[in-house]
Structure 1
Amino acid sequence: MKKVVFSILAVALIFVSCKSETKEVQPLATAADIALADTASEMSSPEFLYVTAYSGLSLREFNNLNSERVAKMPYGTKVKVISSENNNTMTVGGIKGAMDEIEFNHKKGFAFNGYLSKFFPPEKNSKAKGYADDLKALFPSVVYSESVGGTASKPINIETLELPTDQWHEAFFVAQRLFDFPKDFAFPNPTGKDEQVIKDKMPEKDVWTSELIVNRKDDALTKIAYHYKTKNFGYDVTITQNGDKMKIEKTETVE
């Protein structure tokens, strides 16, 4: 009887030992792993894009700009990407890009992806913080901050928004809508003078200054700034590149 009990115990120990040897221990995900996963997700080809051209964007029959126009997609339209062209094959309005195959309103065709963005455009009168919070749901690495400085008689408010993109035109179109640049200001061509001042041709009444200042080096953008000034109020918006992100900063002064 003792021999039987001993044999049963031996078999049980061998079975438990085998199970413990074959069981894989899954390591916990580190903060770095999560950050890498978020970055990979944000940088992957999106399924949907948004039209950023104020005047709308043409949907064409084939993948060239001379092809017949199938439809015109209004500003802010969400379109489905069928296939994307990752190599830049053309330049339109100073923006490098190519023709993506997309679907709009049950029609398929091609559109210049320089005027398509993974970031949905801000709605009219959107606040920067609210827009940033909405973006974070899709792009966790979006960063927003705000601070107050200056004096009691002359306060200075600063808002900063960092977008996970290295594309100047994407940042420009977001800033233009979010901080109310005149829509007549087109995206500045990266090729040109080291510094260029572009005046608002039709400023509103009592506006002292409304201008775009473009800084370049070796035919590449280094900073885009919009200056707005009235008698008692003014703000500056600057767009710069910060590593693999674009930084938009608004400095508002009340006098």
Structure 2
Amino acid sequence: MKKVAYSLLVFAVIVSVISCKNETKSNDASEVSEETNELALAEKETETTPEFMYVTASSGLTLREHNNLNSEKMGVMPYGTKVKVITPETEETMTVGGLKGGMHQVEFNQKTGYAFNGYLSKFFPPEEDLKAKIYAEDLKAQFLDVSFNETSGGTASKPTNTEILSLPTDNWHEAFYIAAELFDIPKSFAFPNPKGSPEETVKENNPKSGTWTSQLTVNRKDNTLEKINYEYRAKGFGYEVTITKEGNMMKLERTEKVE
């Protein structure tokens, strides 16, 4: 009997120890899981609402006292200005120039006010004459989904070169302003309004000397942009820039041709 009782006591102790270990592992796993979820949420929030954004309006963006377009003007933030986002507006409360958005509360030049977020981008603007490949590498340090590739084709007498930059955004205006700076779309072409005819072609009013063709073609469906294409032609040379949306990415493509 004593042996049986002793065996039962040993068995109970072993079961208790194993149970404690399993509970500890379970608690540890739960804590790790919660920490992982919190980190994931934090990263998602950071991607959705960056702390700093950049002005994409070519003529500058107005800083206003309150979060409406009739509010008093406090100043104008030039194109490319880096502003700090204090309180983001997540709802689309207004439309400006065909762009839907709201008024972010931002800080600029030691002033706090409101600015229309349709003309703000999380991507810093390309510097003048910066190569697309270098810009992509700079962006990738902050946005891992950025991709760039370059291919050559055509013939020996008529070679072609294609550069493709993919950006992790579904914002057409962000893509357009970067393409305009990086791939030489003339400043006279404003961002096209998403509303309009299924296809529209606009020619440059005062093209530089020697230009044969300089035009922007916009394709729409149900008042939504589907493709933006810029075409330039001159004697012996030409290029096209195409902007399209692929899932949650924007694809910017430039092809040069020797003719």
1:177 to 181, 203, 217: 181
1:136 aligns with one of 135, 140, 153: 140
What does 1:11-30 align with in structure 2 at a 5 Å threshold?
21=22, 22-23=24-25
Deviations 1:110-139 (A, max 9, x none): 001111000111111111111111111111
2:51 maps to 47
Q: Percent identity?
A: 58
Q: Which amino acid aligns with 1:64?
A: N
The equivalent residue for 1:238 is 242
Q: Which runs of 5+ in 1 are unaligned?
A: 1-9
Pairwise CA RMSD: 2.6
Shift of 1:217: 1.1
3-state DSSP of counterpart to 1:65: coil
1:103 to 80, 84, 107: 107
Deviation at residue 43 of structure 1 after TM alignment:
3.5
| Count of paired positions | 242
Question: Which secondary structure state, in structure 2, belongs to the residue aligned with residue 208 of structure 1?
Answer: strand
**Aligned to 1:176, what secondary structure does the other structure show?**
helix
Correspondence for 1:147 among 127, 130, 151: 151
Q: How far has the Cα of 1:71 moved from its partner?
A: 1.1
Paired letter, 1:226: Y
Cα distance between partner residues in 1 of 2:185 and 2:210: 16
Q: Which residue of 2 aligns with 1:193?
A: 197
The equivalent of 2:225 in structure 1 is 221
Distance 1:41 1:131, change over 3 A: farther
1:209 pairs with 2:207:
no
Q: 1:38 to 1:240 in 2, by over 3 A?
A: farther
Question: Normalising by the residue count of structure 1, what TM-score does the alignment of the two structures yield?
Answer: 0.86
The residue type paired with residue 166 of structure 1 is D
Paired residues of 1:38 and 1:141 also in contact (CA < 8 A): no
Normalized against structure 2, the TM-score is what? 0.85
Q: Identify unmatched segments of 5+ residues in structure 2.
A: 1-9
CA distance in 2, matches of 1:23, 1:193: 62
Amino acid paired to 1:192: G
